[in-house]
C-alpha cells in the first residue's frame, strides 16, 4: 500500500508523516452535496528511514501488503473468533444469553489491553517505509 503524505516532524530517531486517508466515495462527483464523504488526517511514526527529510516535504509512505494481512488478523479476525467461541461455549455451559453476550464482549477488554501493552513490540513487526516523492 502506498500513501502520499507530508513530513510533519523530524528527529534523529523518528520521522512523523501525516497522510490523508480518503473514503472510497471521496472521488465521487457528488461529494460536495453529500455528507458521507470524509477525509481523515493520520499520523504515522517511522523509526527506520534513510535520507534527509525536512518538515513539509512530500513523501510516499509504503506498507507491505503481507504485513497488512497480519495486522488484519491481530486487529479483527482473532478478536472475532475469540468473541464467537466465548459466546458459544458460555451459552452451552450456562444457557443464559445475557451472561454469554456480556462475557463474550468482556473478553475483548483484556485482549485489546494486551495488544496495547505489546504496541512497542508490534511497531517492530509492522514497519512503515518512506521514500521521497519526485
Predicted pLDDT of residue 83:
96
What would the pLDDT profile of 24-43 be if each residue is shown by its tens digit?
555 565 555 555 555 667 77
What is the value of pTM for the model shown? 0.61
Q: Is the pLDDT of residue 122 over 90?
A: no
Min mean pLDDT across 32-41, 43-52, 106-115, 125-134 is at 32-41
Q: What nine digits make up the cell of 32?
A: 460536495
CB-CB contact of 91 with 97 (8 Å):
yes
Q: What nine digits make up the cell of 101?
A: 453476550
Q: What is the mean pLDDT of residues 63-69?
A: 72
Predicted pLDDT of residue 77:
95
What 3-state class would DSSP assign to 9?
strand
Which among 109, 89, 114, 111 has a CA at the least distance from the CA of 99? Answer: 89
What 3-state class would DSSP assign to 3?
strand
60 Cβ contact partners less than 8 Å away, ≥ 6 residues apart: 2, 3, 4, 5, 130, 131, 132, 133
Amino acid at each position: 500500500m502506498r500513501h502520499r503524505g507530508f513530513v510533519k516532524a523530524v528527529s534523529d530517531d523518528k520521522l512523523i508523516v501525516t497522510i490523508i486517508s480518503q473514503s472510497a466515495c471521496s472521488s465521487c462527483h457528488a461529494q460536495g452535496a453529500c455528507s458521507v464523504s470524509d477525509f481523515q488526517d493520520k499520523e504515522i511514526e517511522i523509526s527506520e528511514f534513510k535520507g534527509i527529510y525536512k518538515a513539509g516535504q512530500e513523501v510516499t509512505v509504503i506498507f507491505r501488503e503481507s504485513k497488512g494481512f497480519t495486522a488484519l488478523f491481530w486487529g479483527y479476525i482473532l478478536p472475532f473468533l475469540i468473541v464467537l467461541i466465548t459466546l458459544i461455549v458460555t451459552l452451552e455451559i450456562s444457557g443464559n444469553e445475557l451472561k454469554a453476550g456480556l462475557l463474550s464482549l468482556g473478553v475483548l477488554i483484556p485482549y485489546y489491553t494486551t495488544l496495547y501493552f505489546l504496541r512497542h513490540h508490534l511497531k517492530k513487526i509492522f514497519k512503515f517505509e518512506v521514500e521521497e516523492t519526485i
